[in-house]
Amino acid sequence: MSEAMLNGRRRVVVTGVGMVTPLGNDPASTWEGLVAGRSGAGPITHFDTTDYDIHFACELKDFDPTTWIDRKQARRMDKFSQIALSAARMAEADSGVSIADDPSRVGAAVATGIGGLYAFEDCFQNLLERGPDRTSPFAIVQIIPNMAAAWVSMELGAQGPLAAECTACAASNMAIGDGLDAIRLGRADVMFCGGTEAPITRVGIAGFTAMRALSKRNDDPAAASRPFDAGRDGFVMGEAAGMLVLEELEHARARGAKIYAEVLGYGVSSDASHVSDPDPSGANPARAMTMAFVDAGISPDDVGYVNAHGTSTPSGDSAETRVLKLALGEEKAYATPVSSTKGATGHCLGAAGAVEAIFTIFAIREGVLPPTINYETPDPECDLDYIPNEARRQDAEIGVSNSFGFGGHNACVVFRRWNE
Residues forming the active site: 169, 309, 347
Pairing between strand 261-270 and 409-417? antiparallel
DSSP codes, 297-361: T--GGG--EEE----S-HHHHHHHHHHHHHHH-HHHHHHS-EE-THHHH-B-GGGHHHHHHHHHH
What DSSP element (H or E) covers 364?
helix 352-366
Residue 78, Cβ density class (10 Å: 0-12 exposed, 13-18 middle, ≥19 buried): buried
CA 247 to CA 238: how far, in whole Å? 29
CB within 8 A of 328, min separation 6: which ones? 289, 300, 303, 336
**Start-end of H helices in 53-136:** 71-75, 79-95, 117-130
**Alpha-carbon 145 to chain mean position:** 16
State how far Cα 329 lies from the chain centre: 26
Other Cβ atoms closer than 10 A to 390: 13
Q: Where are the alpha helices (DSSP H) in 144-299?
A: 147-156, 171-184, 202-210, 249-254, 283-296
User: 119 and 99 in contact (C-beta within 8 Å)?
Assistant: no
**Under 8 Å between Cβ of 335 and 327:** no
Cα distance between residue 27 and residue 345, in whole Å: 13
